[in-house]
Amino acid sequence: MVRVSGNLALRVGRDSLTMTDAQWGNAHNGDYADLQAAFEHAIAHGDARVAAHTAHALRGMDVQRGNVSGLRARMSACFALLPKASGLDAAHLWTEVTPSDQIAIDAIPRLESARQRLAAWREQDDAEALYSALGTYADELARAGDFAQAERVVAEAAALERPDWPVRLRMTLTSQRGAIAMYAKDAAGYREHRREVVRLAEQAGATRAALSARLGLGDAALLAQDYAEAATLSGEVAEALREYNRPFMRGIALENLANALVHLGDLRGAVHAARASLPIMRHNEAGADLFTILALVAVRARMPEMAARMLGHVHAWIASSQYDLAPNEARAADEAGREIDAAIGADAQARLREEGRRLTDAEADALASVLFAATQND
């Protein structure tokens, strides 16, 4: 069983690079339960190789399904196997330990996990895996604000790239370039690279990746403060993702839509989008991110005390999750903070933020429900 499941996991990974989304789904959607069972068996028996291969397949399937709620537990389980692993097995485990956007484990700083992954793959003869590791490391460097080093790492990855590699593999570096531009607040570069990902993804029949890049175009419009375009693009992609049944990506698109609408002065529309986004984001361990937008809605709906508590909830999440707000959410939080200060003063805001830091997720969501009701009844 273990050998068969390990081979299945490798096949799922290979097929994800060469098949269209429709072909891949038809071939492998029924394999998830078997792969999860094989992963759990491998973890229980300390089988690093099968654990890493099945974790990799499951991560790819989670991304395709738009539900990453099981990712953090698998990352932690793989990290626990590292002390007894070496060589190629360790390299595969490090790949599964490195973060996925908002999800990282507490056991190791996210930049260090990417560095360890890269170091492990430099010891192996696998150009494609090294290329992917370089892309991940560049992304984490950009998150940390080291844009010069991120660009050097991207250049190293680009030198490895071969024209006969699958398009899906080659477009990952274009996607990373877009992420670096986003962290650098370069809206034009962000748009350029996301448009190129759309082109490559459509060429490869990668529907989910194309939709993800279109989501990024809405995010880039937000970064450029082109809020009307951001609302149009985010609304369109949210509807497409609903039809395509990719809930996590749809939750992000709805968050972007709420961000655009609050800046356009449409508080009811922002609340409608945020209310649909919140349960999806919570399920995927990203709910607090949305409270940056809710805080801005609250202060503009003349509820500055609520807004301050919401910002406290956001910052408690940041402190515990190794996640820094992306530029658009950071700007919304900064705007909300300034407007709260103007309404009730800095001392009151600091006190209320401290109260917000102590809110549980359920308590914060109850606060959001009060905002939803009050705003809809205005």
pLDDT in tens, 138-149: 999 999 999 999
How crowded is residue 31: how many other Cβ atoms within 10 Å of its Cβ?
A: 18
Q: Which pLDDT band holds residue 345 (cuts at 50, 70, 90)? A: very high
Given a cut of 80, whether residue 229 has pLDDT beyond it is: yes
pLDDT of residue 376: 79
Closest residue by Cα to residue 8 from 44, 54, 64: 54
pLDDT of residue 101: 82
Residues 29-58 have a mean pLDDT of 95
Residues 309-338 have a mean pLDDT of 94
Tokens representing 338?
A: 């300034």
- 81 with 119, same domain: the answer is no
Position 191, amino acid? R
Over pLDDT 90: what percentage of the chain? 87
Radius of gyration of the chain (CA): 21
* Mean confidence (pLDDT) of the chain: 94
pLDDT of residue 309: 98
Domain range for 294 is 264-378
- 214 with 321, same domain: the answer is no
- 132 with 202, same domain: the answer is yes
Given a cut of 70, whether residue 100 has pLDDT beyond it is: yes
pLDDT of residue 330: 96
**Region of residue 99 (phi > 0: left; psi between -120 and 50: alpha; otherwise: beta):** beta
Q: Which pLDDT band holds residue 67 (cuts at 50, 70, 90)? A: confident
Q: For the stretch 248-276, what's the b/e string if a residue is b when 16 or more beta carbons lie within 10 angstroms of its beta carbon?
A: bbbbbbbbbbbbbbbbeebbebbbbbbbb
- 276 with 158, same domain: the answer is no
pLDDT of residue 2: 52
DSSP 178: H
pLDDT of residue 66: 82
pLDDT in tens, 286-296: 888 999 999 99
* Residue 241 to residues 25, 178, 236, 238, 311, Cα–Cα distance (Å): 16, 21, 9, 5, 29
Given a cut of 90, whether residue 299 has pLDDT beyond it is: yes
pLDDT of residue 378: 60
- 278 with 345, same domain: the answer is yes
Given a cut of 60, whether residue 42 has pLDDT beyond it is: yes
Gap between the Cα atoms of 72 and 86, Å rounded:
22
Residues 341-345 have a mean pLDDT of 98
Q: Which pLDDT band holds residue 3 (cuts at 50, 70, 90)? A: low
pLDDT of residue 319: 86
pLDDT in tens, 177-211: 999 999 999 999 999 999 999 999 999 999 999 99
- 133 with 160, same domain: the answer is yes
Helices (H), the chain: 2-18, 21-28, 32-44, 48-65, 71-81, 87-97, 110-122, 127-143, 147-160, 167-183, 187-204, 207-223, 227-244, 247-263, 267-283, 287-300, 304-321, 327-344, 346-357, 361-377
- 175 with 198, same domain: the answer is yes
Gap between the Cα atoms of 182 and 114, Å rounded:
19
Given a cut of 60, whether residue 4 has pLDDT beyond it is: no
Name which of 21-25, 47-51, 221-225, 302-306 the model is least confident about: 21-25
Q: Give 190-238 as a 3 state SS string.
A: HHHHHHHHHHHHHHHCCHHHHHHHHHHHHHHHHHCCCHHHHHHHHHHHH
- 309 with 372, same domain: the answer is yes
Given a cut of 60, whether residue 72 has pLDDT beyond it is: yes
User: 40, 60, 85 — which closes off a domain?
Assistant: 85
CA 6 to chain centre: 27
User: 85, 108, 123 — which closes off a domain?
Assistant: 85
The answer for residues whose C-beta is within 8 angstroms of residue 297's C-beta and 6 or more apart is 258, 262, 267, 270, 271, 274, 371, 375
Residues 297-309 have a mean pLDDT of 98
pLDDT of residue 219: 98
| Domains identified in the chain, total number | 3
- 210 with 299, same domain: the answer is no
How crowded is residue 57: how many other Cβ atoms within 10 Å of its Cβ?
A: 27
The answer for residues whose C-beta is within 8 angstroms of residue 108's C-beta and 6 or more apart is 79, 97, 116
Residues 244-270 have a mean pLDDT of 96
Signed CA dihedral, 306, 308, 310, 313: sign only: negative
